[in-house]
Amino acid sequence: MRLKIPKSLRYWLDQSAVITPIISFALAKIIPLEPEYAVGVMLLVLCPGSTASNLFTYFAKGGVALSVTLTAIASIITVFSIPIILSFSLIHFMGVGSVFQLPVLKTVLTLVLLTILPISVGMLIKRFAPRVEDNSRRYVSRFGVIFLAFLSYVQRDIIVEAFLPRGRCLYC
């Protein structure tokens, strides 16, 4: 039996699992970054799409089912890719060998709690209580915007500090 993978999923897998890490590695090598920042670039490229991307897709009236599928697959892939690529990046950019271990059980539990559980509840409500879904859609969208604003507010110190100069010009 042959497994058929939709084109959009195949393109996304090629882009996120192969092309983006290669481009990020090349940029981290070309741009004169401190070793810690170069490893940080590689760590960022390994982070999966978040449930916020699903919310933005919903607001844009995009393919939410595809977005959710990609988020779930990305989260599963990162359980395996983060330890491999991050260990390689630590050795390459910092010259230190490190045994990096991702807490697999905690990661899977987080994936279930932040992605699969809310989506499953939403699907069940839509299937068995369509009126509730229709009536609550406006409020859920507003809650999503408020929640994203709250997350941005909570992280404001980190965000501001990341954009402040560190006393050295990157291109000087």
pLDDT in tens, 51-98: 667 777 877 888 887 887 777 777 777 777 777 888 888 888 888 765
Say how many C-beta atoms besides its own lie within 10 A of residue 93's C-beta.
21
**CA angle, corner 124, sides to 121 and 125, nearest 5?**
85
Q: Is the pLDDT of residue 44 over 80?
A: yes
Query: Per mean pLDDT, which of 109-113, 123-127, 141-145 is the most reliable?
Result: 123-127
So what's the pLDDT on residue 26? 92
- The domain limits of the chain are 7-101
Q: Is the pLDDT of residue 172 over 50?
A: no
Could you tell me if residue 168 is left (phi over 0), alpha (psi between -120 and 50 degrees) or otherwise beta?
Answer: beta
